[in-house]
Amino acid sequence: MSRFFILTLDGLTQGAIYAAVALALVLIWRATKVINFAQGAMAMFTTYLALFAIDHGAPYWLGFVVALLSGLLLGAIVERVIVRPVESAPPLNVVILTLGLLLFFEALAPMLFGGQIRSFPPAFSIVGLHVGNSQVAFSAFDAFTLGSVLAVMILLLVLFQRTNLGLRMRASAFNPEVSRLLGIRVGRMLTLGWALASLVGALAGVLIAPTFLLYPNVMDQVLVFGFTGAVLGGLDSAVGAVIGGLLIGFALSYVGGYLGSDLETVGALVILIAVLMVRPRGLFSLQRLREV
Amino acid sequence: MLIANVHLARIVRPTLNRHLLLALGAAVVLVAISEQIGAYDDYNLTAVAIFAVAAAGLTLLTGLNGQLSLGHGALMAVGAYTASLLLKDHQLPVVVVLLLAVLTTGIVGIIFGYAAARLRGPYLAGATLSLAVALPQIATRYKNIFGGDAGLSVPASAPPAWLGADFPPERWLAWIALAAALVTMVLLGNVLHSSVGRSFIAVRDNEAAAALAGIDVARTQVLAFVISASCAGLAGALFGYWSGVTAPAGFGLGLSLQLITAIVIGGLGSLAGAVWGSIVLVFVPSLTSGMASSLNVPSSVANNVPLAIYGATLVIAMLVAPHGIQGALKRLLALARARWGHSPASGKKGVMDWDDPAPGP
């Protein structure tokens, strides 16, 4: 099998995870105009909760559900308790607040679960699938990763575009005041937005833990690349986030494969800057004209 | 008495003189302090001065010009590597090394400044964030130039002979760093009080209005970036001297985030805030780790107490003191003034005037 094909498959699975993180960031950005730097740390925390359940005899899928549900809950709590009071504060304050949350979760996790690096079970085999006689560098778990990210994306798309609730959420994000006048509980919609985003983040955590292992700052790099993907795609577009995340996955894989793994991040930087110089608001955003 | 006051006013009124006097006063106090404390505290004092230089530059960019940079740690790396590379083959005086580090980082700042001027808000944050992650990797990659993960060592700058043979090198470094910090503060303070500083603020507040008033928005933004990068370069070179080694691990994402934290906790947009933030950055972790080690808990808990407290402090500070330490101090001062009647000129002089320029005439 050609090297290019292997790298493409690798980029696809990696990219799916970055896409999930990017999607989570974009969901929150669209709802509350906040970049949630604690997204990765929250996902790390919910993955630890899943591992805790599995350690105590729960089957894998129960752990999986624990991760997603605790993600949902954690997102809602963080929005309601911590982010809501600073809603009207300067944007940078909210950035610092989420950075504070990031550090707090990264300190809390080893306190509760111990600081050693843990392995996390995959849902399916991580051994490459057999196609005919040859083994490909694509496992059942990789397929599950891709499929679940795709499924989440489609579900969210249906939610936002086809349901009444999704319409209300979009309206709240687009124009809170008018939405309030129309009788929408804007606060609840924002909480729901954070909860959903955090659920997507939690999914990314469970998907990445089998390959990256689990330790308190495992998600730092994932968050950076997810954010890069979101910015690349345009923060206003969910589709853009997914494509941006995938592009980053491919870029990292090709650069790492052909030029050396220590140039991965440089490659991501170069691509990001190149794209932003041409489209300063990302690939898929509606290019609004700047005032004047 | 009155005449003396008038004379004093004439000396103190011009911004430059006032800042120079303040810096001189601060220098005397700081030298006196550094004479009293031990090597470890000198070391911490140096760290505060270094962070203050970088944070002051960042507050000019982010606080006053509205460009959010999450990558200033990478610019510090540029300064530090410049210093280490210069010192690898040559013996150069500290001042020369620092100036060349400032120059190099300033040039790098021009390049990134042009890119940054096209980007806004979270897009700029994303671009600078990836800069912070990518740049240290270059040092890892090109081992024969930058020394790889092990980094390059930075020879200490020996105290000059006239200070005596047993002058502690830690105190000498503290003096260098403090001098650099005071020079930076005076220069930045004057920039902020000039028309350039006002154009920074105008661009931050409303780009359209600033452009209509005849300000070249892009050029102003690039200029802010270059000044800010130069400060980061100076801080980076000092950081190299301070840690004795320049390695990629020292300039990770954490450093960039620490800087942005410092300026917001200290009080965004004021140079005094940058100093407060640097003090918090250096002393809160060492205080809390001392506290944690005295607790009777398992090490997995004790090791993480400082980080947890730090994170919680950031969250709580943003909830209760959104304008940082400097904002809280100002509010206290205003309260005190309202309570006890205002004393003349109390708001015009002193520390409070380090920060954002007074409204124009």
A39-55 vs A60-77: helix crossing angle, rounded to 10: 140
pLDDT mean across residues, chain B: 85
A186-212 vs A39-55: helix crossing angle, rounded to 10: 60
Q: Do B137 and A224 touch (CB under 8 A)?
A: no
Q: Where are the domains of chain A?
A: 11-218
Tokens of B77: 């790396």
Residue of chain B nearest A233, judged by CA positions: B123
* A 42-61 → B contacts, CB under 8 A: none
In tens, the pLDDT along A180-215 reads 999 999 999 999 999 999 999 999 999 999 988 899
Q: Where are the domains of chain B?
A: 14-354
**Closest CA of chain B from A132, distance in Å:** 40
CA dist list (Å): B299 to A49, A101, A183, A192, A217: 21, 22, 52, 38, 18
- Give the residue ranges of chain B where pLDDT is below 50: 344-361
**Closest CA of chain B from A252, distance in Å:** 12
Under the banding of pLDDT at 50, 70 and 90, the label for residue A288 is low
Give B62's contacts in chain A (Cβ within 8 Å): 92
What per-residue confidence (pLDDT) applies to B58? 95
The closest of B325, B223, B350 to B267, measured between CA atoms, is B325
Q: Do B322 and A86 touch (CB under 8 A)?
A: yes
What per-residue confidence (pLDDT) applies to B89? 83
What per-residue confidence (pLDDT) applies to B91? 85
CA dist list (Å): B105 to B111, B185, B286: 10, 18, 30
Give A256's contacts in chain B (Cβ within 8 Å): none
Chain center to CA of B107: 19
In tens, the pLDDT along A223-240 reads 989 999 999 998 888 889
Helix or strand or coil: residue A135? strand
Mean predicted confidence (pLDDT) in A49-75:
95
Pick among B124, B297, B314, B323 to test the A interface (most A CBs inside 10 A)? B314
What per-residue confidence (pLDDT) applies to B351? 41
**Closest CA of chain B from A125, distance in Å:** 32
In tens, the pLDDT along B82-105 reads 999 999 888 888 999 999 999 999
**Closest CA of chain A from B138, distance in Å:** 7
Query: What CATH fold (topology level) applies to the domain B14-354?
Result: ABC transporter involved in vitamin B12 uptake, BtuC (1.10.3470)
Give B319's contacts in chain A (Cβ within 8 Å): 82, 85-86, 97
CA dist list (Å): B235 to A102, A232, B69, B94: 26, 31, 16, 13
What per-residue confidence (pLDDT) applies to B347? 44
**Interface ipTM:** 0.84
> What letter does residue A214 receive in the DSSP assignment?
B
In percent, how much of chain A has pLDDT > 90? 46
What per-residue confidence (pLDDT) applies to A211? 87
What per-residue confidence (pLDDT) applies to B275? 94
When CB atoms are compared, the residue of A106, A265, A266 closest to B307 is A106
| E strand or H helix at A94 | helix A91-113
When CB atoms are compared, the residue of A92, A108, A265 closest to B264 is A92
When CB atoms are compared, the residue of A101, A273, A276 closest to B311 is A101
| E strand or H helix at A138 | strand A134-139
State residue B110 phi and psi, 5-degree precision: -60, -45
Map tokens 């950031």 to a residue: B314
| The pLDDT of residue A135 is above 80 | no
Q: Do B207 and A273 touch (CB under 8 A)?
A: no
Measured between CB atoms, does A25 come within 8 Å of chain B? no
Pick among B69, B131, B137, B144 to test the A interface (most A CBs inside 10 A)? B137
CA dist list (Å): A224 to A4, A119, A281: 25, 22, 18
What per-residue confidence (pLDDT) applies to B348? 43
Pair A76, A65: CB distance under 8 Å: no
When CB atoms are compared, the residue of B123, B125, B134 closest to A282 is B123
What per-residue confidence (pLDDT) applies to B8? 65
Q: Do A100 and B315 touch (CB under 8 A)?
A: yes
pLDDT mean across residues, chain A: 88
Give B321's contacts in chain A (Cβ within 8 Å): none
| Alpha-carbon span B336 to B341, nearest angstrom | 8
Q: Do A235 and B122 touch (CB under 8 A)?
A: yes
Residue of chain A nearest B315, judged by CA positions: A97
Give A82's contacts in chain B (Cβ within 8 Å): 315, 319
Tokens of B58: 């960042």
When CB atoms are compared, the residue of B122, B308, B311 closest to A35 is B122
Tokens of A28: 């929150």
Chain center to CA of B121: 22
| Alpha-carbon span A11 to A16, nearest angstrom | 8
Q: Do B125 and A224 touch (CB under 8 A)?
A: no
What per-residue confidence (pLDDT) applies to B226? 96
| Alpha-carbon span B358 to B353, nearest angstrom | 8
